[in-house]
Structure 1
Amino acid sequence: MWDFFEAVVLGTIQGLTEFLPISSSAHLRIFPEMFGWGDPGAAFTAVIQIGTELAVLIYFREDIWRIGSTWLKSLVRPEYRGHLDARMGWFIIIGSLPIVLLGVALKDVIEQDFRSLWIIGTTLIVLGVILGIADRVSRSNKQIKQITLRDAVLMGVAQACALVPGVSRSGATISMGRFLGYEREAATRYAFLLAIPAVVGAGLFELKEIPHGDNTYGWGPTIVATVISFVVGYAAIAWLLRYVSTKSYTPFVLYRVALGALVLVLVATGVLNA
Structure 2
Amino acid sequence: MATIPVGVAGIALDKLFRTTLGRPVPTAIFLALNGIVLFVTEQLRRGGTGRRRAGDSTAAGEEGLSPGELSDQRITRMTMRQAMAIGAAPILALLPGISRSGSTISAGIFRGLNHEDSARFAFLLATPVIGGAALLKLPPLLGAEGNGLRGPLLAGSIAAFVAAYLATRYLVRYFENRTLVPFAVYCTLAGLGSLAYLTIG
Task: Please say whether Structure 1 and Structure 2 have the same fold, judged by a TM-score greater than 0.5.
Answer: yes
Q: CA deviation at 1:141?
A: 1.1
Cα–Cα, structure 1 residues 142 and 227, in superposed 2: closer, same or farther, change >3 Å? Answer: same
Kept in 2: contact 1:129–1:253 (CA 8 A): yes
Q: Secondary structure at 1:182's aligned position in 2?
A: coil
What amino acid sits opposite 1:106 in the alignment?
A: L
Q: In 1, Cα distance between the equivalents of 2:28 and 2:140?
A: 26
Q: In 2, Cα distance between the equivalents of 1:112 and 1:235?
A: 32
Kept in 2: contact 1:124–1:167 (CA 8 A): yes
Large movers: runs of 4+ above 3 Å = 209-213
1:130 aligns with 2:42: no
Listed as ranges, the gaps of 5+ residues in structure 2 are 56-74
> For residue 88 of structure 2, what is the aligned residue in structure 1?
157
Q: In 2, Cα distance between the equivalents of 1:166 and 1:209?
A: 26
Q: CA deviation at 1:264?
A: 0.8
Q: In 2, Cα distance between the equivalents of 1:184 and 1:117?
A: 31
What amino acid sits opposite 2:54 in the alignment?
A: K
Kept in 2: contact 1:131–1:175 (CA 8 A): yes
1:222 aligns with 2:153: yes
**RMSD of Structure 2 on Structure 1 (CA):** 1.9
Q: CA deviation at 1:266?
A: 2.1
Kept in 2: contact 1:135–1:179 (CA 8 A): no
Q: In 1, Cα distance between the equivalents of 2:174 and 2:144?
A: 40
1:208 aligns with 2:139: yes
> For residue 141 of structure 1, what is the aligned residue in structure 2?
53
Kept in 1: contact 2:115–2:176 (CA 8 A): yes
Q: 5 Å matches for 1:10-25?
A: none
1:170 aligns with 2:101: yes
Q: Secondary structure at 1:112's aligned position in 2?
A: helix
Q: In 2, Cα distance between the equivalents of 1:110 and 1:204?
A: 19
Q: Deviations over 1:205-246 (max 9, x none)?
A: 101343676x9x711111111111111211111111111111
Q: 5 Å matches for 1:182-197?
A: 182-197=113-128
Q: In 2, Cα distance between the equivalents of 1:263 and 1:208?
A: 34
Q: Secondary structure at 1:203's aligned position in 2?
A: helix
Cα–Cα, structure 1 residues 269 and 212, in superposed 2: closer, same or farther, change >3 Å? Answer: farther
Kept in 1: contact 2:32–2:192 (CA 8 A): yes
Kept in 2: contact 1:174–1:187 (CA 8 A): yes
Q: In 2, Cα distance between the equivalents of 1:202 and 1:250?
A: 29
TM-score normalised by length of structure 2: 0.80
Listed as ranges, the gaps of 5+ residues in structure 1 are 1-93
Q: In 2, Cα distance between the equivalents of 1:112 and 1:218?
A: 22
Q: In 2, Cα distance between the equivalents of 1:125 and 1:169?
A: 14
> For residue 171 of structure 2, what is the aligned residue in structure 1?
240
Q: Secondary structure at 2:2's aligned position in 1?
A: helix
Q: In 2, Cα distance between the equivalents of 1:183 and 1:199?
A: 24
Q: How many residues align?
A: 175
Q: 5 Å matches for 1:1-274?
A: 94-138=1-45, 139=50, 140-143=52-55, 144-210=75-141, 218-269=149-200
Q: Secondary structure at 1:246's aligned position in 2?
A: coil
